[in-house]
Structure 1
Amino acid sequence: MSVPSNTESTPSNWRLVARMFGLAWRYRARCLQVLGLQLVLLTLGLSGLSLTGVGIDYIRHVLSERGDLPAEKLVPFPEEKLGFELPRDWEPMRVIVLIAGIILALAVTRALLNYLYTMAVNKLVQQEIVIHLRGEIYEKLQRLSFRFFDANSTGSIITRVTGDVQAVRMFVDQVLIQSVIMVVSLTVYVIYMASIHAGLALACLATTPVLWLISGLFSRRIQPAYARNRELMDGMVQNFAESIQGIQVTKGFGREREDREKFERSNQAVLAQQKQIFWSVSLFSPSVGFLTRVNMMVLLGYGGWLVVQGQLALGTGLVVFAGLLEQFSGQVNQVANIVNSVQQALIGARRVFEIMDAEVEVKNAPNPRRYPRLQGEVRFEKASFSYRGVESVVREVDLVVKPGQCVAILGATGAGKSALMSLIPRFFDVTGGRLLIDGVDVRELHLDDLRRNIGLVFQESFLFSNTVAANIAFGHPDATREQIEKAAKIAAAHDFITALPQGYDTVLGESGSGLSGGQRQRLAIARAVLLEPAILLLDDPTAAIDAGTEHEIFEALDNAIAGRTTFIVAHRLSTLRRADFIIVMEAGRIVQQGTHEELLRVSGPYMRVADLQLVDRGELQASAKVAAGAGGASTS
């Protein structure tokens, strides 16, 4: 059954940005280290640029003194910008070599610090933010109820844990850090340019407001495109996952070509959407680049005129200004990348925080009661359950199962059998009435204690790609080999396990490939009984196996059920007969209750099921006569 998603109002972009700032604040020490390195790099870069201008002015000064250049309208050499006074007996070449050596030393230092900066950023965003955030999301997924997984596709969840986490990382790396660096750098560049010549700085930066306007328009246009791209990526991943999981069905019906075409359509849809995004970005980036080139044209025209008029030095004036403007333009060009990154980060963050903010519907009470070992009495008192926004699937069920009793549940698809059983381990909580175990409301029990006292065997048992021993010990990883073998013997699995190539150390393929259905079920039973649970839940464990295998499973089930409170969803009379009593469900209610023999004496759903399965009418009548002779069997 599809369960509606539990979603709140969509958070605004500003709220998302604030939350991502909060995430970055956790790593503020590392962020400050990265920013500190960048400030040192900025200082070294400006120092090297300034010294380049000093060198050019010194060369012009020397040429002017020799008479190779006219001294008219020549700005004096700014010796004070060297930071020290040049000895008067030094040859010009010696001064030039000194300046060049200092510039080289600054360049080498800058290269080393760039390496440290790259390593610091990588450690921050890859080793800390991404790893920790993925861990938090995975931990949250473990606590969410089945309702969340019913409402969200596997493809969507996988994409959020992988690609969308990278988008949040992008915010810290390519938006937050780069934005701070850009703001600081632009401020320094503007102040430096204004100190050289305020009028020239104002003229060269006149196009900056136009740039911010274009950036705002681009931002509003590109965000919906990224949102749509994520939806298409979810669809493609989901398509791929289903293709792999259903490969046997695909091949069995000869639908390989259609399956390839379906995947190709989803793949092409992603490509077409990405082309639209790239087209928008490719228009925005050249626009920003054109505006920065306009600034350079203004510099050459106006700045060149100032040099000719003797109002601006060539080296520490025009050349340094040109270098600053080039650096300024480079930082401004980062606006395109930052705007592009922030849109991707917002979409990714929205999807990541949807998981982080998803309501944990089933959780421990503030002061849960601890019961490491339960006796196994299960009592439903007017218990009802409904999915959010969906009609009740369990309706006012009253049922008492004593410790050690086995109750079978029969009903058509959608009758509420599995939903009823899912309330016991609190996969969902009752929405009406109560469910008590050993006289305590399950909502007051600690979840770990509750679930460790419950063994589960599903119709299709999932096995992990691990050893046989590890699969059996999944719920009790500290179990000894002796305990594992004991559980396998109870489940009638020991003999076939020892016949495997490496016995209990045999590594199983995906989902237990290479084992028969009966073998997989027996491993699942062993996994359940290893916990020595007080309660055992069996969801139609023999539905998908043949009669021969069913006999093997019954041998294991008889051993597993002994002494445990057991609920078993079943449709076969061979299974139903083994129960102490049977309940029949229709539309979420218990409509019949009693032993096999009692129910055969009453017209109703159970009789109809029995009639269909007992082909020989005489066998049915014989069974009824035996039941009538038994008379007075008690019910629970």
Structure 2
Amino acid sequence: MSANESITTTELSNAKVVVRLLRLAWNYRGWCAAMLVLQAVLMGLAVTLVQVGGLTIDVIRFHAGSSALPPSLPLGFVFPVAWAPMQQVISLVVAMIVIAILRAILNYAYALTSGTLVQRKIVVDLRAAVYAKLQRLSLRFYSDQPVGTIINRVTGDVQATRMFIDGVLVQLSILAMSLIVYLTFMLRIHIGLTIACLMTTPVIWGISIRFSQTVRPMYDRTRQLFDDLVLRIAESSDGVAVIKTLGRQSAETERFHRANDAVQSQQQDVFAKVSNFGPLIGFLTQVNLVILLIYGGYLTSIGTLALGTGLIVYAGLLQQFSNQVGNLSGLAGSIQQSLTGARRVFEVLDANEEVKAPLDPWKPDRIRGDIDLHGVWFEYQPGTTVLKDISLHIRAGERIAILGAVGQGKSTLLSLIPRFFDPQCGIVEVDGVDVRQWDLKTLRRSVGLVLQEPLLLSNTIGANIAFGVPGASREQVRMAARLAVAHDFIMDLPDGYDTMLGEFGMSLSGGQRQRLALARAILTDPAILLLDDPVSAIDPETEHEIMTAMETASAGRTTFIVAHRLSTLRGSDRVLVIDEGAIVQEGTHAELVRQEGPYRAVAQSQGIEVTK
């Protein structure tokens, strides 16, 4: 694979990934700010709720005679003189209920904001960006990347990436804000008690950093193993007919179990690390509570610290502080998951596009279909030449057949015309203009492509034919189907053009799928038609139908036909014989069968009479 589009897991350091993630988060700064504001208000209400609860206890103790001094209300407020003790207590309880209701409403608003940001903004936008980039990458990229890896990057890795915004960045901000708020109130209550209760905090931070470094490679390995699992599923689904035919169901099931067990084992290792980390952090935070009860209880007993607004409020604040510190276990895991997923997503987004659109593209109103190749050399991997010094001139409307053994470069030659690849050396021209100067959309819409195994979508027959021209009328679709000799069999189906096709159109025969693909190509009215071995896997009777369709479709168009059956090539204006990436013979069918060479040998092997 070209270095331009290679993907490695070492290109992006954690620092670079974090910078990219921060840039991504900046795009959603309004939503993040709204979440932080809601959390700040919730935090203030939580502190207020704890304080009111402590105040209520002090009011009860004062009126019960357990305290000599009346508790002071915040902000200088005082109870009305006429209020009885029970009225004072009830007013505080009502205030607590109101605060609790406000917190519930704001928690709902926070959950709604977070859900909207994650599922309707970040995931949708990022997944669309990754998919759009995948559409721009050349076929070379797909030849090197397993399908499981591609699927996983668009799905699971995107989810892991968005986790950095809502599960890491926002949560870290909330954590920092919480620690500052709770620490400030705790220091206001008693500085010495705060220092004593937080002695374990540096230890917790050190353990968290060490844990994060340990699990990072484990999460990388988990994503790789999950790629393999998705690949197993994709391969077995696509090849189910072969698997059943060869009786390999048990073997494939065993392969899947091994891949699944590898993922499970890796996840268990990660879970074991997280499970050990969480209780350890929890234990250290509970040590703080023990210190509070011993030292804080002593301060309360000697009258230095009030019970309600002092010890009880402090206990509530310390518990909130400890909960935030305890979140480090989940936060550390989220950081590593998001960094692993983000690295894989950014590697796709950063992959250089091998085939780039020109700055000032050539976009003609009319295309004739003249094609010239000048000294074209091409290789997929350095040192492995696929095409060698190919030079050709094809007139507009000419029909060219290509013959050659498997792997000799026939399909590669065709792929250079719509510029799926660029040659390492040489020039490919359409209508006298280098394809690298063409507007890519204009060029490719001028080329109709029918593959050996055509792609049909899970949609109606009419929608499949109109795939390249979504706004085509039904009459235009019918006309294209008639030219492809597909109209009659379509009308024999229960719902005609509205018949729904299953995945890949497997409910149709090979010949029917080919004719639909040909109709789809015809509908775009291409000046150039590329037929890549469209009759290799069908029977002779169906071949006759396809040939009839191709004769009609190729009329007036520059046409390339790749085939192994000479019966498919006989009506061509010229036949090119390719061997080891080079053109070794060129001429009409009648000329080539009279010459000694590969073409004559193939004709004899297929029982075609040859003359000298």
TM band (smaller chain): over 0.9
Quick check: 195-204 or 569-578, which moved more? 569-578
Matched, 1:139 2:132: yes
Look up the match of 1:309.
Answer: 302
Q: What residue is the counterpart of 1:512 in the other structure?
A: 505
Query: Within 1, Cα distance between the matches of 2:7 and 2:109?
Result: 43
The whole-number CA distance in structure 2 between the counterparts of 1:484 and 1:19 is 46
Cα RMSD for the two superposed structures: 1.3
Quote the Cα distance in structure 2 between the aligned partners of 1:210 and 1:367: 61
Aligned partners of 1:170 and 1:345 also within 8 Å: yes
- Paired position in structure 1 for 2:18: 17
Q: Which residue of 2 aligns with 1:45?
A: 46
Q: Which amino acid aligns with 1:35?
A: L
SS at match of 1:620: coil
- The aligned counterpart of 1:438 is 431
Contact residue 465 and residue 512 of structure 1 kept, 8 A = yes
Asked if 2 retains the 8 angstrom alpha-carbon contact of 1:54 and 1:81, the reply is no
Matches within 5 A, 1:114-263: 114-263=107-256
TM-score normalized by the length of structure 1 = 0.94
Q: Check conservation: 1:41, 1:110, Cα contact below 8 A.
A: yes
1:80-119 CA-partner distances (Å, limit 9, x unpaired): 4264122223211111111111111111111111101100
Q: CA deviation at 1:558?
A: 0.5
Matched ranges for 1:318-467 at <5 A: 318-467=311-460
SS at match of 1:541: coil
> What letter corresponds to residue 59 of structure 1 in structure 2?
I
Matches of 2:31 and 2:109, distance apart in 1: 12
TM-score (structure 2 length as normaliser): 0.98
Quote the Cα distance in structure 2 between the aligned partners of 1:279 and 1:402.
69
Question: For structure 1, which segment, 50-59 or 34-43, has the greater mean C-alpha deviation from structure 2 after superposition?
Answer: 50-59
Deviation at 1:513, TM superposition (A): 1.9
Superposed displacement of residue 572, structure 1: 1.1
Supply the distance in 2 between the matched residues of 1:604 and 1:40 (Cα, whole angstroms). 85
Alpha-carbon distance between aligned partners in 1 of 2:84 and 2:97, rounded to the nearest angstrom:
20
Q: Distance in 2 between matches of 1:463 and 1:11?
A: 38
Q: Distance in 2 between matches of 1:210 and 1:222?
A: 19
Unaligned runs of 5+ in 2: none
SS state at 1:585 partner: strand
The answer on 1:540 being equivalent to 2:557 is no
What code does the residue aligned with 1:280 have?
K
**1:6 maps to 2:6:** yes
Residue deviations 1:27-74 (CA, integer Å, cap 9, x gap): 11111111111100001111111111111112222223xxxx374xxx
Q: Aligned AA for 1:295? A: N
The residue number in structure 2 matching 1:628 is none
CA distance, structure 2, for counterparts of residue 6 and residue 387 of structure 1: 13
Residues 437-458 of structure 1, C-alpha deviations (whole Å, 9 max, x = no match):
1011111110110011100000
Assess, with a 3 A threshold, how the Cα gap between structure 1 residues 82 and 92 changes in structure 2: closer, same or farther: farther
Determine the C-alpha separation between the residues in 1 that align with 2:91 and 2:582.
Answer: 94
Give the C-alpha shift of residue 304 in structure 1. Answer: 0.5
Please tell me whether the aligned partners of residues 399 and 573 of structure 2 are also in contact (alpha carbons under 8 angstroms).
Answer: yes
Specify the alignment match of 1:629 in structure 2. none
Q: Does 1:597 align with 2:590?
A: yes
Give 1:26's aligned residue.
27
Q: Residue by residue, what CA displacement relative to the aligned partner does 1:177-215 show, whole Å, maximum 9, x if unpaired?
A: 111001000011111101100000000001000001100
Residue identity in the other structure for 1:185: S
Paired with 1:240 and 1:459, the residues of 2 have a C-alpha distance of 24
Q: Which amino acid aligns with 1:207?
A: T
Cα deviation code 1:320-362 (max 9, x no counterpart): 1100000001000111111010111011111111111111111
Q: Percent identity?
A: 51
Q: 8 Å contact 1:3–1:387 — kept in the other structure?
A: yes
Change (3 A) 1:419 1:409: same
Q: Classify the secondary structure of the residue corresponding to 2:610.
A: helix
Report what 1:551 is aligned to. 544
Q: Does the residue aligned with 2:376 lie in a helix, a strand or coil? A: strand
Q: Does residue 68 of structure 2 align to residue 63 of structure 1?
A: no
Which residue type is aligned with residue 502 of structure 2?
Answer: G
Runs of 4+ in structure 1 deviating by more than 3 angstroms, as ranges, are: 2-5
For 2:201, the aligned partner's letter is T
1:388 Cα deviation from its structure 2 partner: 4.3
Q: Who is 2:571 aligned against?
A: 578
Q: Residues 585-606 of structure 1, C-alpha deviation per residue, up to 9 Å, x if partnerless?
A: 1221111111112222321111
Amino acid at match of 1:393: V
Q: Against the structure 1 CA distance between its residues 388 and 6, is the aligned structure 2 distance closer, same or farther, given a 3 Å change threshold?
A: farther
- 5+ residue gaps, structure 1: 625-636
Separation (CA, whole Å) in 1 of partners of 2:120 and 2:220: 27
How do residues 482-521 of structure 1 correspond to structure 2 at under 5 angstroms? 482-521=475-514
Are residue 94 (structure 1) and residue 87 (structure 2) matched?
yes
Q: Deviations over 1:397-418 (max 9, x none)?
A: 1100000001111111221111
Cα distance in 2, alignment partners of residues 194 and 467 from structure 1: 70
The residue type paired with residue 495 of structure 2 is Q
Distance 1:602 1:445 in 2: 39
The answer to whether the Cα contact below 8 Å between 2:600 and 2:610 also exists between their aligned partners in 1 is no
- Give the SS at the match of 1:603: coil
User: What is the CA–CA distance in structure 1 between the aligned matches of 2:56 and 2:522, rounded to whole Å?
Assistant: 83
Provide closer, same or farther for how the CA distance between residues 537 and 83 of structure 1 changes in structure 2, counting only shifts above 3 A: farther
Alignment of 1:475-486 (within 5 A): 475-486=468-479
